[in-house]
Amino acid sequence: MHDSKGKYKHYLLYLLLPALIIGVCGPAAEGAVSASAPLQAATSSQKKDSAATRSRVAIIIDDLGNGLRGTDEILSLPIKLTVAVMPFLSTTESDARRAHERGYDVLLHLPMEPRQGKPSWLGPGAILADMSDAEVHSRVEAALDNVPFAIGINNHMGSKVTGNERVMRIVLAVCKERGLFYLDSKTNSRSVVGKIAREMGLPPVENHIFLDDTHSVNHVIKQLRLVGEKAEDQRYCVTIGHVGIQGKKTAAGIRSGIEAMKGQVDFVGISDLVREEWHWSPRPSLTFP
């Protein structure tokens, strides 16, 4: 979720209203995964066919963990994705597990204070700019322990905190201690994350394009076309979409868009990109529930 355009309130209403969500995402959830085509087979044959020079696209889907709309559709897409799961919520553990079993990469989607808006919209375990060093450190640790299979962190909102060098040094230090990397969602154009990551010897991974800043299937398809062009220009592209009130549209747009891009780019997990572009090997101490 990105707060640069003030839309997060809209998302957060859904995020923080589990009563609404129960009706949307029910017991059918597990069925959607078992009915999915085997991802590993598709991925390996895709790799076999792909030219060594083909550009790579990593699609990240934010805001999992609360059974939001579109979760089942995202977890059924026939390409390798990365999902960013919020901590301490109703489906945190099950979403992370389902994604991992499907062969997707899992990130901790860590709530961080935005420049505008109420911190209470962030959800549990959020990092605020005025917290002490010790509190930031212990909150990051606790959130990581709560999201199984996480190989890295990205920020939920966070336009204020990602501009705060003191706090981000602590967050990235925890990443380094645990063999994880940090993906800057780029909700703040003045983010200090890339600079600090380079100084600390972590890969400066960042989001390039938001897929669903306007909510329509056609917009997502159009954004994916831009992602393809950017990937061809710079060999790779990182893009972020969301589950939530319009999550089914995002999933449908991705499904159509990837069909049109077949043969043009390789869809990879963020861990593949980190390894191949920055020659950085994460050594995650995976948390198993």
Where helices occur in 132-216 by DSSP H, the ranges are 133-146, 165-178, 193-199
Give yes or no for residue 98 binding Zn ion (CB under 5 A).
Answer: no
Binding-site residue total for Zn ion (CB under 5 A)?
4
- If 0-12 CB within 10 Å is exposed, 13-18 middle and 19+ buried, where does residue 256 land? middle
Strand partners, 240: 60, 210
143-182: contacts with Zn ion (CB under 5 A): 156
Count CB-CB contacts under 10 A for residue 7.
17
* Matching residue, tokens 């890339």: 194
Shortest Å, Cβ 281 to Zn ion: 27
Question: At closest approach, how far in Å is the CB of 199 from Zn ion?
Answer: 26
Stretch that binds Zn ion, among 56-64, 164-172, 224-232, 259-267 (CB under 5 A): 56-64
- Both tokens assigned to 212: 């669903």
**Residue 62 sits in the site that holds Zn ion (CB under 5 A):** yes
User: At closest approach, how far in Å is the CB of 228 from Zn ion?
Assistant: 24
The owner of tokens 């589950």 is 243
Burial tier of 206 (Cβ tally within 10 Å: 0-12, 13-18, 19+): middle
How far apart CA 93 and CA 97 sit, in angstroms, is 6
Nearer to Zn ion, 86 or 174 (CB): 86
Asked if 261 interacts with Zn ion (CB under 5 A), we say no
Find the shortest distance in angstroms from Cβ 263 to Zn ion. 31
Does the footprint of Zn ion cover residue 63 (CB under 5 A)? yes
Nearer to Zn ion, 62 or 266 (CB): 62
Q: Which residue's CB is nearer to Zn ion, number 62 or number 93?
A: 62
For the CB of residue 250, give the shortest distance to Zn ion in the complex, in Å. Answer: 13
Token pair 């747009």: residue = 253
Q: Which amino acid makes up residue 55?
A: S
Site membership for Zn ion, residue 212 (CB under 5 A): no
Asked if 1 interacts with Zn ion (CB under 5 A), we say yes
Which residues sit at the interface with Zn ion, rule CB under 5 A?
Answer: 1, 62-63, 156
